[in-house]
Amino acid sequence: MPIANAILMIILGYLLGSIPFDYLAAKLVNGVDLRRVGSGTPSGSMLYEHVRRWLVVPVGILDVAKGALPTYLGLKLGLGEAVAAAAGIAAMIGHNWPIFLRFIGGRGISTLLGALFVLFPWGDAWLLGFLAVGFLLKDSAPFALVSVLSMPALVLALGGSIVVIGLIGAAVLIMLIKRLEANRRPLPPCAAERRRVIWMRLLLDRDMLDHRAWIRREL
């Protein structure tokens, strides 16, 4: 029953992705609800800013593993590269819209890194390079988007498969939807302000220009 096995693997990917390690770590260590501080996303960046910086390393590894494990299992069980990629994308969707947190999740970058680690490791180097530049400039969101948007060119240059390009295309779509949806954060009623916020969300993944004020705010 290859179709049933593929569906089960994709469901497994979503459920693994839904495990909110960032949220759980913040609650256990400091009693902080990451949905109530900063950007309002249970993510590594909010863990770094509002709980303990060192927690980003173990939690980040777990978030990467959420994407890597179902992708690897899809290949290991002989379900094919396409199913493996779909399971990795399902994990990213689970991270962004986790069933265990009423669909309020992070941005899925770490989970995408896990899927890429299995299917296209050069993609990890590419993405991490952009994130490092963003970290040094203290604003990683635009660099994360540019890295994923440009990654198909890297795949083609290195002779990667069409499945990997499909994985990256799906990841871009998920990232853009999540930025716009913003964990159901309401848009301003004024049309002009609403358009401004929409563009800010797409390009900078926030509702205001001041990045520091955004990540340090209290909700």
Distance CA 179, CA 26 (A): 22
In this predicted model, what pLDDT tens digit does every residue of 88-127 receive, in sequence order? 999 999 999 999 999 999 999 999 999 999 999 999 999 9
CA 173 to chain centre: 11
Residues 199 and 179: their CA atoms lie apart, in Å, by 10
Rounded to whole angstroms, how far apart are CA atoms 42 and 70?
Answer: 22
Inform me whether the pLDDT recorded for 1 exceeds 80: no
Spatial separation of the C-alpha atoms in residues 119 and 45, rounded to whole Å: 25
Q: DSSP characters for 25-61?
A: HHHHHH---GGGBTTS--SHHHHHHHT-GGGHHHHHH
pLDDT digits 0-9 by tens, 9-49? 999 999 999 999 999 999 999 888 888 888 888 988 888 88
The residue-averaged pLDDT of 55-66 equals 95
Q: Which residue has the higher pLDDT, 50 or 202?
A: 202
